[in-house]
Amino acid sequence: MINKNWKKMLGMVATLGVVTTGLAACGNSEDKESSDDASGKTKITFWAAPNPTQYKYWQDMAKEFEKENENITVEVSQMKESPSSEATIQSAVASNTTPTISENITRSFAAQLADSKAIIPVNDLEHYDDIISERSMDESIKGWAFGDGSNYVLPVYSNPILLGWRTDILAEAGVDNVPTTYTETLDAAKKLKEKYPDKLLWGKSDGDLTDTTAWLRWFDFFPLYDAASDGNAYVTDGEFVADEAAFTNVLTFASDLAEEKMVQIGAATDPFENGDAVMTVLGPWNFANWAEKYPELNYQENFDVTAPMVPDDMSDVEMPKTYADAKGIVVYADATEEEQKAAMEFLNFVYSDPQHDVELMEKTNLIPARDDAVENEAFKAYFDENPEMSIYADYVSNAVPSMDDARFNDIQTILGEQAWVPTLRQEVKADQAWSDNKKAVEEVLK
pLDDT tens-digit map of 94-115: 999 999 999 999 999 999 999 9
Distance in angstroms (rounded) separating the CA atoms of residues 37 and 350: 24
Q: Is 121 exposed, middle or buried (0-12, 13-18, 19+ CB in 10 A)?
A: middle
The answer to whether 286 touches 120, Cβ cutoff 8 Å, is: no
Res. 161: pLDDT tops 90? yes
pLDDT tens-digit map of 247-280: 999 999 999 999 999 999 888 999 999 999 999 9
The per-residue pLDDT for 320 is 97
Please give the DSSP secondary-structure letter assigned to residue 154. E
The per-residue pLDDT for 37 is 56
The per-residue pLDDT for 83 is 87
Q: What angle do CA 441, 212, 289 make, to 5 degrees?
A: 125
Distance in angstroms (rounded) separating the CA atoms of residues 121 and 128: 10
The per-residue pLDDT for 341 is 97
The per-residue pLDDT for 36 is 58
Backbone angles phi, psi at 282, to 5 degrees: -130, 135
Distance in angstroms (rounded) separating the CA atoms of residues 322 and 319: 9
The per-residue pLDDT for 40 is 81
Q: Is 225 exposed, middle or buried (0-12, 13-18, 19+ CB in 10 A)?
A: buried
Q: How confident is the model at residue 35 (pLDDT cuts 50, 70, 90)?
A: low
pLDDT tens-digit map of 60-77: 999 999 999 999 999 999
- pTM passes above 0.85: yes
For 17-26, 224-233, 367-376, 392-401, which range has the lowest pLDDT when averaged over its residues?
Answer: 17-26
Mean pLDDT of the chain: 91
The answer to whether 201 touches 266, Cβ cutoff 8 Å, is: no
Res. 392: pLDDT tops 50? yes
Res. 7: pLDDT tops 90? no
pLDDT tens-digit map of 427-441: 999 999 999 999 999
The per-residue pLDDT for 29 is 42
Q: How confident is the model at residue 12 (pLDDT cuts 50, 70, 90)?
A: very low
pLDDT tens-digit map of 282-295: 999 999 999 999 99
The per-residue pLDDT for 208 is 83
Q: How confident is the model at residue 9 (pLDDT cuts 50, 70, 90)?
A: very low
